[in-house]
A and B are shown apart, each in its own frame.
Chain A
Amino acid sequence: MTTLLEVSGVSVTFDGFRAINNLSISIGEPELRAVIGPNGAGKTTFMDIITGKTKPDSGHVLWGEKSLNLLGMSESRIAREGIGRKFQKPTVFEAQTVRENLAMALRNDRGPFDVLFYKRSQRDSTRILELAEEIGLLDQLARKAGELSHGQKQWLEIGMLLAQDPRLLLVDEPAAGMTPAEREQTTDLLKRAAETRAVVVVEHDMEFVRRLNCKVTVLHEGSVLAEGSLDHVTKNPEVIEVYLGR
């Protein structure tokens, strides 16, 4: 397992409030990692920094074998480097069909003229079918994404993420609002994805994290409080204090 993402000494302040405080995390490839923490621990901001949405005040975010600095890049460039992100709220393009959603996400050249002169290829069609199969939406391809159920939208979004073929997948609360059966399917999907790439899951739900059965990082007040297996971190008295209150 080699190091794919190296976050070191990152701090960010909003109006005097330190959302992220000297945070250092490193993610390997392939790896499945769960990030947990109470509200306001900085989980979402951590993702914002990696994906380029928020620029930190200090620190480094290094990527890949060549140790590229992600901080100077635009969101779209970071995405093209191979980092995919799934938001807390399912954000798929509801006015477009499942097929169009997946086709847009497919790993292809992203320039306006490449897209304008894009011709649908056999390879891409096959890939869309494979992905639809994987996320269980094979018979929904022609439907508008807006008509899908909440759980189906979540899967479609994960499918779009997989279509990008990223090396690192950032997944924000994938199980929110899902039925138990849907959760189980989601867990399997993430585990399968993590076999070949790095997957970081931000989650509140301990039961879901336990099912992922992976290394866990606990964030608190913008920095790492504990790291290790779920059993290990839940025994940590500091973690207990943070979660159960004082």
Chain B
Amino acid sequence: MLRALLLAFAVVWTAVSAGAQDLQSVLQENPDLYANPSRRTTEDAVAALVASDLPAVPVFLEKWQAKDVWQRSDGQFFYVTGNGPYTLIDITSGAEVGTADKAQMTQIKPNSGVRAVIGSALVRFQLLDDDMARRSAALDAIARDGTADHLDPLAASIAEEPDPALKQRKERLLALLTARFGTTTDARVAAIDSLSDDISVDVRAVLNQILSSQSAVAASLPEGTNVARIREPGRDMTINEAYAELAAAGLAQSTVSDEILTKALVDNIRNGTVAGTPVVTLNTNEARVAAYRLLVEAGKAQPFVPQDARQAAVEAHVFYDAYVEKDAAVTDAADAALTAITLRVGVMQTADLALDAISLASIYFLAAIGLAVTFGVMGVINMAHGEFIMMGAYTGYVIQQIVPDYTLSLIIALPVAFAVTFGAGVTMERLVIRHLYKRPLETLLATFGISIALQQLAKNIFGTQARPLTSPAWLDGALVFNDVVGISYIRIAIFVLALLFLGLILFILKRTRLGLEVRAVTQNPGMAASMGINPDRINMLTFGLGSGIAGIAGVAIGLYAKVTSEMGTDYIVQSFMTVVVGGVGNVWGTLAGASLIGFLQKGIEFFNPSNTLAAQTYMILFIIVFIQFRPKGIVALKGRAAGN
């Protein structure tokens, strides 16, 4: 098609441009057309340039549009650089060809109408440019704000497009433009139909634009109105609202508002009275209205519009929303397409919500899995667990200060964080918890003491402001499925990490000697001891393991959230909830608890997305109620072993 177009231009302009081999000569054939362009003549001027098919034309158009073309007093066109005397640049070759004084040169300043014409001509070139980046940029420009002018060049460029991906983009963009600016109803409806399985934001924007409507009121429906909906007073709006709209449209007398009433009363105060009523008694609405009625009777104020008059006025008019788009076939098609798309978007949003929920559940799981070991398996309640998470995160931060390569520092940070918190856990077990095994409430309090001490210690060392834990570049960005469904790589990494931990913990507890001994010690320490297991050692190792996992979780959480000395407190209650809801003493239970809490929180947020606080509140209330019905959690141990 483009070839045909070019051919047509060529035929028309052959006579004029015959023999003209460079751009300057083409321009000089009709210099006035370029020096003083007007909206009307520019079409011809641009056509002539296009017809010349010279390689320098696109650059000239760009410069022309950008007001970078100057005319010398002899009529020759140049680009210039410098600031008086100007350096002249030849418009054909791009080489410097001398200098000129300010007085000799006139800047050509096309008006905005002309620039638009030039722009759309430019698009033709850009869309066919050999450089793929420029073609892509042109498409971006059209996508950003496309006009009817782009329709033809875009359509013409599709056949020539060598790159399949770009070709697809062009076709899609063409459909979007056609839907809005197509010349025939059929073409527009066809374009809209072709878009109805596309859920991307730009398609929805275009459809909404086509479906934009305005509220109006009239005595009767005007001819040729494309009605979006008729608003029925009494059903869609109250009579008074309808009347207010009438009054605002100038179709009825305005009612007496509180402001008018008050103003009338104030204006008519005479010697401390209004129409004979003392001002001091006007301290209720009833008294004010009564005084105002007296003013009306005296002809000093605008009368009230009685209710039946309002009713009658409202009934005499029709209230409606009218589409800006006049073509009903187009709006119907757009409406149908938008309905279909909205449905698909709803499905996709659910999918996206599920992804969000899974990633939140992974975070809760990571935060809680260490607790599942110390609290769930050993029965030790560790309020400083959150601070172990914080310690892990700070370890990651410190290592990033030493090792600048983010990937490497992350690889180092994970085992180091484990080692640091493992050490902290073992120390705490040796010094404090060991002495409190039979006093769970006191363990709670003592570990809480450690928690506030650790928090303040972190504050003293690292300060109060949040420290960044930067993720490596390959974790930046997101896996995007479409405009609705997407998930960041960090969240995927956290999910994978959570799965790894689930596997690791299950392996350790079920398949290793340590796990066997841990289970033996927790079930019957005396018997385990008599079989040659050292319960002290096992308790120490188990507690260290749980704490170490908290450290690794800290690194992961630090990548996703800010590292502060108080970050542990954000997770501690939720983590305990996760373990309790899931069922104590069972790693699968923790998984179930984390999933339940994650999905629930996201689900509640879906209904009230602006309010995460409310979501957390309702989630906690739910958990309190949930524990009523399943006090032992989702995955409950049964029987005598659980009871006594």
Tell me the A residues contacting B by CB distance below 8 Å. 14-15, 17, 19, 54
Contact = CB atoms under 8 A, between A and B. Distances in A.
Interface string B623-644: 0000000000000001111010
- 3 closest cross-chain pairs (CB), A and B: A14-B639, A15-B639, A14-B640
Contacts of A54: 643
B524 to A, nearest CB: 16
Q: Which of B638, B640, B641 has the most CB of A within 10 A?
A: B640
A17 B640 CA distance: 10
A14 B637 CA distance: 10
Nearest to A16: B639
9 contacts: A14-B638, A14-B639, A14-B640, A15-B638, A15-B639, A15-B641, A17-B639, A19-B640, A54-B643
Contacts of B638: 14-15
Contacts of A14: 638-640
A19 B643 CA distance: 14
Q: Is the interface of A mostly helix, strand, loop or mixed?
A: strand
Contacts of A15: 638-639, 641
Contacts of A19: 640
A56 to B, nearest CB: 14
B180 to A, nearest CB: 68
A13 to B, nearest CB: 8
A15 B640 CA distance: 9
A14 B643 CA distance: 10
Given A15-B638, A17-B639, A54-B643, 6 more contacts: A14-B638, A14-B639, A14-B640, A15-B639, A15-B641, A19-B640
Contacts of B641: 15
Nearest to B637: A15
A242 B639 CA distance: 25
A35 to B, nearest CB: 19
A15 B637 CA distance: 9
Q: Which of A14, A17, A19 has the most CB of B within 10 A?
A: A14
A9 B436 CA distance: 45
Contacts of B640: 14, 19
A54 B643 CA distance: 10
A15 B641 CA distance: 10
Q: Which of A15, A17, A19, A54 has the most CB of B within 10 A?
A: A15
Interface in B594-644: 638-641, 643
A227 B18 CA distance: 129
Nearest to B638: A15
Contacts of B639: 14-15, 17
Nearest to A14: B639
A161 B292 CA distance: 85
B86 to A, nearest CB: 95
Nearest to A54: B643
A54 B639 CA distance: 10
A190 B640 CA distance: 30
Nearest to B640: A14
A54 B640 CA distance: 10
Contacts of A17: 639
B447 to A, nearest CB: 26
A15 B642 CA distance: 10
A105 B424 CA distance: 48
A17 B638 CA distance: 11
B632 to A, nearest CB: 13
B594 to A, nearest CB: 26
Contacts of B643: 54
A101 to B, nearest CB: 23
Nearest to A53: B643
A47 to B, nearest CB: 13
Nearest to A13: B639
Interface in B112-149: none
A76 to B, nearest CB: 18
A14 B642 CA distance: 10
A134 B147 CA distance: 106
B631 to A, nearest CB: 14
A14 B641 CA distance: 9
A51 to B, nearest CB: 14
A33 to B, nearest CB: 25
A118 B194 CA distance: 85
A15 B636 CA distance: 11
A54 B641 CA distance: 13
A5 B437 CA distance: 42
A19 B639 CA distance: 10
Nearest to A15: B639
B389 to A, nearest CB: 35
Nearest to A45: B640
A14 B640 CA distance: 6
A167 to B, nearest CB: 27
A99 B536 CA distance: 41
B586 to A, nearest CB: 14
A15 B643 CA distance: 12
Interface string B9-30: 0000000000000000000000
A14 B639 CA distance: 4
A19 B641 CA distance: 13
A14 to B, nearest CB: 3
A26 B141 CA distance: 93
A87 to B, nearest CB: 12
A177 B640 CA distance: 25
Nearest to A17: B639
Interface string B401-417: 00000000000000000
A16 to B, nearest CB: 9
A16 B640 CA distance: 11
A31 to B, nearest CB: 29
A172 to B, nearest CB: 14
A118 B641 CA distance: 40
Interface in B277-291: none
A135 B74 CA distance: 133
